[in-house]
Amino acid sequence: MAPEPPESPRTPRRPPRTRMGPPWWITVPLSLVVLLVLIVAAGQLRLLPGLENPFGVETEDRTGPAVLKSVQDMSRYEAAAGNFQVVVDLDKDARFLPDAVRGDRTLFVGNGSVGAYVDLGALEKDAVAVTEDRKGATLRLPRAHLKKPVLDVERSYVVARERGLLDRVGDALSDNPGDEQEVRKLAARHIGDAAEESDLVGRAESNTRSMLENLLRSLGFEQVSVTFKGKP
């Protein structure tokens, strides 16, 4: 009986490789990010009334007190004021590019006011004449003038704005509010032009005349004449 061949040594089997998850230094921060996002979302949606947004911004005014720099004595009689509204349509087009690529059009509603005044401090020496019996008085005043238009920032706003691709990219890279300042200046200029074309100056002179006539009559003058020198 032949001897049995010796058994060949068997190579030990390697244990099957198990799939390892991502390192702990990745999973931990990711879970924290998810948790923070859920907390912020709950605070924004008011799902938890007692939970405040941990990333909320608190506004605090640290401005110091205003300092009085100077005082000026005013001799102007503010006799009238006009309120105006203008819709500014500012359109900027490129010569050789379509509007979708380069162009900017802004519709802006501007509300502002213009005042009219009479400078009583500019009276000449012979501007006031009183009769001997002190029953009559004659006043010659300078013509009324218009003040600079004042744009009401709170009541002025942009209705619509269309920009080309290049303009959008430029606005994203720069925080220069030049276009907004330009449209505001344009609105103020149109309001000033409208005030000059209106009867605001005549209204101011009429109100000044009525004020002075009533004032002098209350002082005992029976005949009062108020005129304005120069052409209207």
Q: Look-up: residue for tokens 């007190």?
A: 65
**161 or 51, greater pLDDT:** 161
Pair 167, 97: CB distance under 8 Å: no
What's phi and psi for 169, nearest 5 deg? -65, -40
pLDDT score, position 193: 96
Q: pLDDT tens digits for 70-97?
A: 877 678 899 999 999 999 988 776 665 5
Q: How far apart are CA 62 and CA 154, in angstroms?
A: 23
C-alpha–C-alpha distance, residues 122 and 229, integer Å:
12
* Average pLDDT rounded to a whole number, residues 27-40: 61
pTM comes to: 0.64
CB crowding 180-207: b at 16 or more within 10 Å, else e:
eeebbebbbebbbebbeebebbebbbeb
Helix (H) or strand (E) holding 106: strand 103-119
At 111 the pLDDT is: 96
Residue 39's H or E segment, with its range, is helix 24-44
Higher pLDDT, 102 or 203: 203
Which DSSP category does 214 fall into? H
**Domain assignment of residue 186, yes or no:** yes
Phi-psi region of 134 (alpha: psi -120 to 50; beta: other; left: phi over 0): left
Q: How far apart are CA 205 and CA 194, in angstroms?
A: 18
Q: Total domain count for the chain? A: 1
Pairing state between β 145-146 and 103-119: antiparallel
Structural domain boundaries, residue 111: 76-228
Dist CA 123 CA 120 (whole Å): 6
Residue 12 within a domain: no
**152-156, 163-167, 168-172 — most confident range:** 152-156
Residue 198 within any structural domain of the chain: yes
Residue 183 lies in a domain: yes
Could you tell me if residue 3 is inside a domain?
no
Confidence of residue 209 (pLDDT cuts 50, 70, 90): very high
